[in-house]
Amino acid sequence: MWSYEKRLQYPIRIRRPNAAAAKVIISQYGGPDGELGASMRYLSQRYTMPYRNVAGVLTDIGTEDSQ
């Protein structure tokens, strides 16, 4: 049985929101050149790799990038 409690590790109080800074931060995670995009490219290339040892390396890199 799982109990999911959605709370932050540290309390955050945003006094002045900055949309421009938020846009830059989000693009680094999910944008075309962001971490999530790179991780998904490594993991998708892993399935078409004919060499097992190289496929393992791509899996390791893809899972490390996504963290």
Backbone angles phi, psi at 2, to 5 degrees: -105, 140
Query: pLDDT grade, residue 65 (50/70/90)?
Result: low
pTM of the model: 0.51
Query: pLDDT grade, residue 61 (50/70/90)?
Result: confident
What does the alpha-carbon distance between residue 61 and residue 4 come to, in Å, rounded to a whole number? 28
Q: Which of 48, 46, 42, 45 is nearest to 65 (CA)?
A: 42
Query: pLDDT grade, residue 24 (50/70/90)?
Result: confident
Domain ranges in the chain are: 30-65
